[in-house]
Structure 1
């Protein structure tokens, strides 16, 4: 019996918090705190992801004594953003996260715009609920 494979779109969190490349680190930190999240997708003027700004990036920034009001996130973001198409399978997403050593995977549409976020916590919750039976 072949089971249907779940798509990333079914599991992702919609309404992703993004920040523009010219936003300050102070603005990014305010968003992280207000939303209770640990990462932001950095987008260009066309809403295409160009980087990620995470708590780890913030820790590096703080350790180097930067001024959060004077520096943009583009100077401190991780500029190699790994994304996945919403139609890909959860198995593909998990493999990509492992391969790249990441915990957050921005989900994109056909035009490359961010439409969601998939995290390792989303995968954990899904597997605890389904036992992974729909990922074969």
Structure 2
């Protein structure tokens, strides 16, 4: 397989914030643009950090006082799932199409039996390619 370089794959449509942007504003930007992170830059366009959806877990967990809002208020209920027999290509295509980073794997009789993530797919791709450096 021919080498594919980062410059060929990367997205150049960046969503940025400054370090003094309120987290609520950053979260709104992420929701409006259906993205999982914003890049934090300084006035000179130099990287200062990144804020991801994972960081918002910490924001909610550390919030004082607690809102005590149940998960059902925000959870997705129309979940798209995979089965253990689905092909990696089909799962990858579905995750890209829907912008997912995680997809539950279900069995008709056993219920939820696993989870496929973009990390799993990356590890798979790395494994089928000759690692560099080898």
When the two structures are superposed, what TM-score results if normalisation uses the length of structure 1? Answer: 0.46
Rg comparison, structure with higher value: 2
Greater RCO structure (CA 8 Å; 6+ sep): 1
When the two structures are superposed, what TM-score results if normalisation uses the length of structure 2? Answer: 0.47
